[in-house]
Structure 1
């Protein structure tokens, strides 16, 4: 444990000094390459302008370099791999794409992803908004917010393990230790393996992500709600509006932009959901999603780089429009448009 901490600290120290050294020597080299001499005013002015143009790119270069290495190059390599066989050697054209849209498991994964997209972002945003409104009206609201936000500190795998105990099933006459089955048994019902129930098992997995992400939605929306002018609420009360009308006709319209951002952010997360399905069912009982299917084709059964590349590209194509919309909206808000 101590050696790991020392190694981590060493990496941080080396990285900080490396960054400082890069910025110092790159600026020094720029000043040497474009000198400013007192004798030649025209050349000095030209070099100062060139320095002003080049210097920001010196600061951006490390980030741009890492972006190319870890994002642009992998995307290009993935596109190329999608046209090759499982070993990445023999060119097979569009056969991997043809397989994708004729394979039953792939179609099931697409259906499950659509189901997740329809339920999770909507549920997280709705519950987050409702909790944000309710907790702002009670004296112990900050405590309630802390409790709701707490699952955000838990990893997806850790949260899945917690919920696995909630859905736990013991066969025969064994005492049910799973909370859900214990409640069902208390009311005279029949305990069962909930995560193997067709169709509904996907919803049992979605609950885990909703439980985690509702805290995120609540915090963002709570901040947005506090930005609503009190005069607007007071005017609505004077005009005779009840709580329900104030919520839907005053509050929601004024934080609609924030609601959209929260919704799309959680949507991007849902498109990449992997850990929960892997931990809970490993994709069994028709719970497979695209990220898990990609993992299976790439790293199990000998691996198939061609088919896994196709699935990766489909996930990327699904995520990209939402990310572009989010960035454009953020730019419009920053620009005051």
Structure 2
């Protein structure tokens, strides 16, 4: 344990020293080769100043661009290439993997599950976050409530899954139930259920975990947006006779629509990449598999890089329109300010 901590500290120190050396050295070389001192003619000095001004930002961006290209751009093109190859990437087979995906029952089931996750999780997370943000601001202990709601955001998806396994835990009908849900069920006179194998409700129970995590994120962002609504507008509506429900739907919601869209699209992108919860809770069994888990199964369990990459490309295609839409909305808002 101590060795791992020391290695982590050493890695941080080395990274900081390397970053400082790079930025100092690159700027020193830039100033050395593009001088503007007395030994340079006035015209060359002005030209060197302009070149330094235009080049210096790229020196700061270069490491980030290098790592983005190495770990993001290159893998995208490599994944597309692998999706056009056979299982061990030795023979080009064109669109055969995509035709397989269309006709594969497991792929269609995973696609349906992903659609249900996209339909339910972002909507409920955003709705619950908004309701909690509005109600918490009216309570004297609202900050405590917000802290408790936000706390799951500090837990990893795997950690949250372990917690919820105890909630859904099932023991035989003649044994004492340690799962919270089954304890409630037996306390009300119902038979205990193995919730994680109960099709199709098991998929919805897995969605509850992500809703529990993402509600805190939605609450924090929407709470900040609600505080930006002018108090004069709300007071004017109350003077005109509007009740709190009317104010909520006709004044608050329209004024934070852009924030609602950002929160919804951010959670949607998270849902499209969901893997940890399904993997930790059911391993993708009992018809709970989503595209990311199916990709993992084909690529790392079956060793079929072609089909695994094909599913990865499908996930990428599904994410891209939402990301582009989100970026365009952000650019449009910045342009109107």
TM-score (normalised: structure 1) = 0.98
RMSD after superposition = 1.0
The alpha-carbon deviation at position 92 of structure 1 amounts to: 1.2
**Aligned residue in 2 for 1:257:** 258
Q: Which secondary structure does the structure 2 equivalent of 1:188 belong to?
A: coil
Q: Are 1:147 and 2:148 an aligned pair?
A: yes
Once the two structures are superposed, residues 129-174 of structure 1 have per-residue CA deviations (whole angstroms, 9 ceiling, x without a partner) of 0000000001000011111111111111111111111111111311
Asked if the contact 2:114–2:291 (Cα under 8 Å) also holds between the matched residues in 1, the reply is: yes
Q: Distance in 2 between matches of 1:167 and 1:15?
A: 43
**Aligned residue in 2 for 1:18:** 18
Q: Distance in 2 between matches of 1:12 and 1:158?
A: 26
Once the two structures are superposed, residues 175-227 of structure 1 have per-residue CA deviations (whole angstroms, 9 ceiling, x without a partner) of 11111111111111111111111121110000000001100100100010011
Once the two structures are superposed, residues 33-82 of structure 1 have per-residue CA deviations (whole angstroms, 9 ceiling, x without a partner) of 22224351111111111111111111110000001000111011111101
Q: Are 1:330 and 2:330 an aligned pair?
A: yes
Q: Distance in 1 between matches of 2:217 and 2:322?
A: 18
**Aligned residue in 1 for 2:110:** 109
Q: Distance in 2 between matches of 1:62 and 1:336?
A: 32
Q: Distance in 1 between matches of 2:3 and 2:330?
A: 43
- Between Structure 1 and Structure 2, how many residues are aligned? 336
Q: Distance in 2 between matches of 1:148 and 1:35?
A: 57
Q: Which secondary structure does the structure 1 equivalent of 2:36 belong to?
A: coil
Q: Distance in 1 between matches of 2:203 and 2:8?
A: 39
Once the two structures are superposed, residues 250-301 of structure 1 have per-residue CA deviations (whole angstroms, 9 ceiling, x without a partner) of 1111111111000000000000000000011111111000000000001103
**Aligned residue in 2 for 1:199:** 200
Asked if the contact 2:173–2:191 (Cα under 8 Å) also holds between the matched residues in 1, the reply is: no
The alpha-carbon deviation at position 17 of structure 1 amounts to: 1.0
Q: Are 1:287 and 2:288 an aligned pair?
A: yes
**Aligned residue in 2 for 1:8:** 8
Q: Which secondary structure does the structure 1 equivalent of 2:336 belong to?
A: coil
**Aligned residue in 2 for 1:46:** 47
Q: Distance in 2 between matches of 1:27 and 1:177?
A: 63
Q: Are 1:176 and 2:177 an aligned pair?
A: yes
Q: Which moved more, 1:320-329 or 1:31-40?
A: 31-40
Alignment of 1:130-145 (within 5 A): 130-145=131-146
Q: Distance in 1 between matches of 2:267 and 2:139?
A: 27
**Aligned residue in 2 for 1:118:** 119
Task: Flag structure 1 segments of 5+ consecutive residues without an equivalent.
Answer: none
The alpha-carbon deviation at position 331 of structure 1 amounts to: 2.3
Q: Distance in 1 between matches of 2:322 and 2:111?
A: 17
